[in-house]
Amino acid sequence: MTNSTLAFVFPGQGSQQIGMLADAAAEFPQISSTFDEASSVLGYDLWNLCQQGTQEEINLTERTQPLLLTASVALYRAWQAKGGAAPAMMAGHSLGEWSALVGSGVLAFEDAVALVRERGRLMQQAVPAGEGAMAAVIGLDDTAVESACEAAAEGDVVAAVNYNSPGQVVIAGSAAAVERAIETCKAAGAKRAMPLPVSAPFHTALMRPAADQLAPQIESTVFHAPEIPVIHNVHAKPESDPQAIKALMVEQIYSPVRWTACVRAMAGSGIEQLVECGPGKVLAGLAKRIDRGLKAHNIETPAQLTEAVEATAE
């Protein structure tokens, strides 16, 4: 049963925490079985890593990406097992777009695990540690942030990379250029402009080598037409052709995440409720800032999941 006013959104890097999904795993066997599937692809115990490891370990991009994909897919399977309504649309923030592709039937979960592990490794490798940076800018409109980046570049790379909500934009690039852009944004009237604890300048031109290296692996993986439309980060539209989706997933690595536009596209198509399918509540918070009419649910705990299933039943 599909709820025509419901969309699922899947979080990206930054939502991971040691001990996440422990309560859900105690109630839903789908959590453990999904983590077991991922572990067999990765060659290490992913559940043990996220329960007994260190925050530092799970913050390594190569580990974060398969971990968050697995957590999101596990919760989606728990939702389905609980009899939750099928969404009419899906979207994912950055890495979360891969979770959306699995949920919509575009690719097999084990193939996605292998791809995102490689995606994380290549993205980490593309820029040596310390040479790239990201920063959050609060309280400036998109155009002002873009102008500040142009003024601060001075031949280096710095650009707006995550359009998260009106007045919240993440910038990224070479460390020195990001530092200059932070000062330029503050001078332009930003309420805050602060560096983020991220290991690489994601979604910039500096990531193009990673995209080029991942492209053959994406190309050789079987993609299907989506059973549920996915709104893509690159252009905030759905795509039905598997080859076009492959191209978008390569481009996504070095292109901005147009999250505000993605959420507005869903709301404009009749979506009234969002379920954030993954750990944390970042996307639910952003949704309320993008469109106050949207009702957002989180399903990280059994109680939240049960409540959201009931609230979104048609």
Closest to 228 in 3D by CA, of 73, 98, 90, 95? 90
Ranges of each domain in the chain: 2-126+206-311, 132-198
Residue 197, pLDDT above cutoff 80: no
Provide the pLDDT for residue 129. 78
Closest to 45 in 3D by CA, of 59, 29, 63, 28? 63
CA–CA dist 209, 41 (Å, integer): 25
pLDDT band at 272 (very low <50, low <70, confident <90, very high): very high
Residue 61, pLDDT above cutoff 90: no
Let me know the angle formed at the C-alpha of 106 by 41 and 99, rounded to the nearest 5 degrees. Answer: 60
CA–CA dist 162, 136 (Å, integer): 9
The pTM of the full predicted model, rounded to 2 decimals, is: 0.96
pLDDT band at 143 (very low <50, low <70, confident <90, very high): very high
Q: Is the domain covering 2-126+206-311 a CATH 3.40.366.10 domain? A: yes
Provide the pLDDT for residue 256. 97
Reduced to 3 DSSP states, what percent helix, strand and coil does the chain have, rounded to the nearest 5? 50, 15, 30
Closest to 278 in 3D by CA, of 313, 311, 251, 308? 308
Q: Tell me the pLDDT tens digit for each residue of 145-176.
A: 999 999 999 999 999 999 999 999 999 999 99
CA–CA dist 102, 81 (Å, integer): 16
Provide the pLDDT for residue 59. 85
Question: Could you identify the residue written with the tokens 């790379």?
Answer: 157
Per-residue pLDDT averaged across 296-302, rounded?
96
Question: Could you identify the residue written with the tokens 């925490």?
Answer: 17
Print the SS3 string covering the chain.
CEEEEEEEEECCCCCCCCCCCHHHHHHCHHHHHHHHHHHHHHCCCHHHHHHHCCHHHHCCHHHHHHHHHHHHHHHHHHHHHCCCCEEEEEEECCCHHHHHHHHCCCCCHHHHHHHHHHHHHHHHHHCCCCCEEEEEEECCCHHHHHHHHHHHHCCCCEEEEEEEECCEEEEEEEHHHHHHHHHHHHHCCCCEEEECCCCCCCCCHHHHHHHHHHHHHHHCCCCCCCCCCEECCCCCCECCCHHHHHHHHHHHHHCCECHHHHHHHHHHCCCCEEEECCCCCHHHHHHHHHCCCCEEEECCCHHHHHHHHHHCCC
Torsion of CA 293, 297, 303, 305, to 10 degrees: 130
Sign of the alpha-carbon dihedral angle for 224, 101, 197, 148: positive
Residue 314, pLDDT above cutoff 80: no
CA–CA dist 284, 281 (Å, integer): 5
Write out the catalytic residue numbers: 94, 203
CA–CA dist 11, 282 (Å, integer): 7
CA–CA dist 14, 197 (Å, integer): 9
Is there a common fold for 2-126+206-311 and 132-198?
no
The CATH number that domain 132-198 falls under is 3.30.70.250
